[in-house]
Amino acid sequence: MRTSFTKEDFTGKLNTFWDYCFNNQCPMHDDCIHYVTGMFLDDGHNRGCAIFPSACHDGKCKYFRQARKIKVAWGFSKLFHDVRQRDTTTIRTLMKKYLGGHSTFYRYANGEYKLTPEQQEAVTDIFKQQGYTRNLEFDHYEYTPDLT
């Protein structure tokens, strides 16, 4: 199941603790995000965390993660467009609690952080629990490698 990636898919998205794999003998390497990211390292990147070949036993790697793209989202203006003023504070409070606080809420709102599909579902569930079931769309979407 080879998902196509480019170097730009990973630019600025990998932290210094990301685990890379270079074991092309692993039968799962073509579909593993750790191997795929290793293929796109730039020349200036010459040290970091790695998954060793010894992690692969009986054709399976305990660190295998499917290489796939997910649809991430950010921005909440559209979500709040049809919300009654009296419900806005309650919904914002519930969202902030779920997302980890005031500043984190705004990082997701402004696109500094991106919501995974699971987080998107949890946020839209907050609106549904408050009686809002229509027009539950975020402001922006993009497909990006699943590095969660």
- Residues linked to residue 140 through DSSP beta bridges, in sequence order: 74
Report pLDDT for 47. Answer: 87
**Is 112 in contact with 105 (CB distance < 8 Å)?**
no
Report pLDDT for 2. Answer: 60
Q: What would the pLDDT profile of 64-122 be if each residue is shown by its tens digit?
A: 999 999 999 999 999 999 999 999 999 999 999 999 999 999 999 999 999 999 999 99
Q: What would the pLDDT profile of 43-60 be if each residue is shown by its tens digit?
A: 778 889 999 999 999 999
**Is 33 in contact with 65 (CB distance < 8 Å)?**
yes
Beta strand pairing call for 49-51 and 19-21: parallel
Does the predicted model carry a pTM greater than 0.85?
Answer: no
Q: What would the pLDDT profile of 14-51 be if each residue is shown by its tens digit?
A: 888 999 999 999 999 999 999 999 998 877 788 899 99
Beta strand pairing call for 69-74 and 60-61: unpaired
The C-alpha angle 111, 34, 67, rounded to 5 degrees, equals: 65
Length of the chain (residues): 148
